[in-house]
Amino acid sequence: MAWNREEKSEVLPQRVQQSNGTSSIDSGHERLHELGYKQELKRDLSVFSNFAFSFSIISVLTGVTTLYNTGLNFGGPVSLVYGWIIAGCFTMVVGLSMAEICSSYPTSGGLYYWSAKLAGPSWAPFASWITGWFNIVGQWAVTTSVDFSLAQLIRVIILLSTGGTSGGGYEASKYVVIAIHAAILLSHAVLNSLPISWLSFFGQLAAAWNVLGVFILMIVIPTVATERASAKFVFTHFNTENGAGVNSKLYIFILGLLMSQYTLTGYDASAHMSEETKSADKNGPKGIISSIGISIIVGWGYILGITFSVTNIPNLLSKDNDAGGYAIAEIFYQVFKSRYGSGAGGIVCLCIVAVAIFFCGMSSITSNSRMAYAFSRDGAMPLSSLWHKVNKQDVPINAVWLSAFIAFCMALTSLGSLVAFQAMVSIATIGLYIAYALPIFFRVTLARKSFTPGPFNLGSFGVLVGWIAVLWVATISVLFSLPVAYPVTDQTLNYTPVAVGGLVILTVTAWVFSARYWFKGPITNIDD
């Protein structure tokens, strides 16, 4: 069952050039040498490029559009508007703690390396092992859910373009959807096989597209709408008619939070790209914090703009509407149809969202591949020597295609049961946040006195902020595992605890029976 730990001979030596053409080592490189990494990826990314990858993965157009139905169904405007603020504030707390640790340990391994350093010599291997597997599986689940969401949106765009449900439009089967999903993943793998300079360009384009797209849609949709909701409705209406048998307002509001918390994930990409970022100990933390902060602002604007166009919640959620129950698609389509007699403008708006989701999936593969590269560099994955190889362009090419393949395999569960698929992608939120919380937990407990901060640090507030972050993750892990419908049946059961619990059992079992004998945590090839 064990696999061999490989030396890092395949990792190309660092190559950083100053403007005068001479070799140099910037502060990020110096920090990596302190950590024991003699060799790493080519360092070409600016702070904006680093930010762009995280911002593109958070992608408010992706998360809000995909799960707007959930927020609308559970609480409606109140859950959407105020839930976003609550989730955003606590997400920033988590991000601040991660940024502080990132500044001290700027490596592409990110979370699992942090856990190893913070847990101490005795606990380092196990802490690194469990964190790493939650992180990589959570990232693969994010990619799966993002690209599958794009495939479903394309299905809706095709449906509306051919007349909608009422006009006999074409509704793609689940097999067509999975084929679209495969094509999307293929394109993302091809793009991620390009040199990092190209990826940097696409990452910046993605960030610009997400910002401009949000502003265009939040202005255009309510402006074109012939009927608009009142401010009272947007800021005070609480929808209790969810059709799920849930009556408690607090419970309903909690379920509505899922949209916001699902959206605000993926900002660990800034850490995973740190070995390709200049002055990573400063710019990595900046990427994490700025991507969260800007996402909170533009995301709230997007939610407000769309919600001001909501006038009939039951109709938007009905499977019989033109978009087949896809709420935001129905809003866009009907807004233009009511004004101009045609919903073509709404379809164009949906295409803006589709491009944003495409960029989100592309950046997700980038982050996945860097995590797989780093984790296999330390011998933690089966066939590690294969996944940590880089090509002549310094791209971990095999890790790129591995990530795309696993994301496709995860999506295949949708052919058998959407319930099984939803359990699979639930790891995208809970599993990933558990990986975020573990190094923070070690920082405020085992490493409370020994932690050496980097250039970015929270000073005396570091421990307090860290504890708030850990408690928030613990809270949402419980809340999002609660049933989402009553009575509870095999079709309405929330399988999140099953999926996350299964991952815990697998990783711990692998540790007990195999990994503890050979995995010693992140490898260093420089004498401390």
pTM assigned to the model: 0.85
**Residue of 316, 62, 370, 78 whose CA lies nearest to 196:** 370
Residue 43 lies in a domain: no
The DSSP output letter for 461 is: G
Q: Which residues of the chain have pLDDT under 70?
A: 1-48, 108-109, 272, 275-276, 420, 424-425, 523-528
**Residue of 312, 340, 330 whose CA lies nearest to 160:** 330
Residue 246 lies in a domain: yes
Summarised one tens digit per residue, pLDDT across range 178-199 is 999 999 999 999 999 998 788 8
Number of domains in the chain: 1
Q: Could you give the CA distance from residue 390 to residue 47 in angstroms, rounded to a whole number? A: 23
Q: Could you give the CA distance from residue 451 to residue 115 in angstroms, rounded to a whole number? A: 12
For 133, 160, 186, 252, 446, the CA distances from 128, given in Å and listed in that order, are 9, 48, 31, 36, 14
Residue 37 lies in a domain: no
Residue 30 lies in a domain: no
Domain that holds residue 239: 49-517
Residue keyed to tokens 């710019």: 283
The amino acid that residue 57 corresponds to is: I
Residue 296 lies in a domain: yes
| pLDDT score at 38 | 45
- CATH code (residue 134): 1.20.1740.10
| pLDDT score at 47 | 61
| pLDDT score at 148 | 93
Q: Could you give the CA distance from residue 142 to residue 144 in angstroms, rounded to a whole number? A: 5
- How would you class 370 by CB atoms within 10 Å of its CB: exposed for 0-12, middle for 13-18, buried for 19 or more? buried
Summarised one tens digit per residue, pLDDT across range 370-390 is 888 888 888 888 888 888 888
| pLDDT score at 495 | 82
Residue 488 lies in a domain: yes
| pLDDT score at 292 | 93
| pLDDT score at 46 | 60
Exposure pattern of 187-213 as b/e (b: 16+ CB <10 Å)? bbbebbbeebeebbebbbebbebbbeb
Q: Could you give the CA distance from residue 420 to residue 422 in angstroms, rounded to a whole number? A: 5
For the four alpha carbons of 298, 300, 303 and 305, in that order, the dihedral sign comes to negative
Summarised one tens digit per residue, pLDDT across range 444-480 is 999 998 899 999 999 989 999 999 999 999 999 988 8
Residue 29 lies in a domain: no
Residue 377 lies in a domain: yes
